[in-house]
Amino acid sequence: MRGPRAHMVEQRLTVQQAYDAVAEVYDGEYQSPRDIEQNGWVKREVLRDIASADRILDVGAGTGLLLDLFPLATSRTVNVDPSPGMLHQLEVKHPGARVVTSLAEHYIPEQPFSFVISLFGAVNYIDRPERLLAPPYLALNGRAFLMFYGPRHAGPRVLLAHGIPPLAPPRTVEEVAAMGVASGREWSMGEYDGFLWLRVGGRA
């Protein structure tokens, strides 16, 4: 994303409003066989990270897909999202979950997390997502797994279905690779079904 800081804040507010508008129907829009297959891929990819992490930060948590996949991680996870509507749906499904209604860049945790995760393009809306790969977000010995909308992805289907155009540009392979290099840690990246994923800190 480009442009002055004021433009970034204005765009984030638009993202919040867009997801509030679709919060009640969001989960229902992602029940196709392909969606279930994608969720299964994510679950296999981060299973060991979730199992071994004592503190987890889910950035752009939305309606709580991560907790849907790993309900036993509820007590160890802080779920951050700018949309109150989306987080309300998360709380309905996962009572007792810890939620923070905030832009990710405005949330300053008291202590860093052992695992930072952002699924299915939520990180595209964040200004300078590489900041998630260092304290105060990620512990020095922590791991991270971020999924970006890549150039071959059309954008969030739920918004497009409701006449809302994509609100953030895709990230390129070069941009994502630069984030891995800048982290100063072991990193790897790849592509899955139009998403670019970045893993920092190695595997559990």
- pLDDT at residue number 166: 67
* Second CATH level (architecture) for the domain 5-200: 3-Layer(aba) Sandwich (3.40)
On whether the CB atoms of residues 159 and 18 are closer than 8 A, the answer is: yes
Q: Where are the domains of the chain?
A: 5-200
Percent of the chain scoring above 90 in pLDDT: 76
Dist. CA 48–CA 63, nearest whole Å:
22
Question: What are the residues whose beta carbons fall under 8 Å from the beta carbon of 153, sequence distance 6 or more?
Answer: 121, 170, 194, 195
The average pLDDT across 116-138 equals 94
Q: Dump pLDDT digits (tens) for 1-19.
A: 223 333 334 444 477 888 9
The pLDDT assigned to 8 comes to: 39
DSSP 38: H
Put residue 190 in one of left, alpha, beta given phi > 0 → left and psi -120 to 50 → alpha. Answer: beta
Average pLDDT over residues 34-49: 96
pLDDT in tens, 58-98: 999 999 999 999 999 999 999 999 999 999 999 999 999 99
Provide the pLDDT confidence category of residue 191 given band limits of 50, 70 and 90. very high
Comparison of pLDDT for 202 and 33, the residue scoring more:
33
State the pLDDT confidence band at 160, using cuts at 50, 70 and 90.
confident
> What are the distances in angstroms from CA 184 to CA 80, 180, 187, 200?
25, 7, 9, 9
Residues of the chain above pLDDT 70, percent: 91
Distance (Å) of CA 195 to CA 17, 56, 70, 115, 129: 24, 22, 21, 20, 15
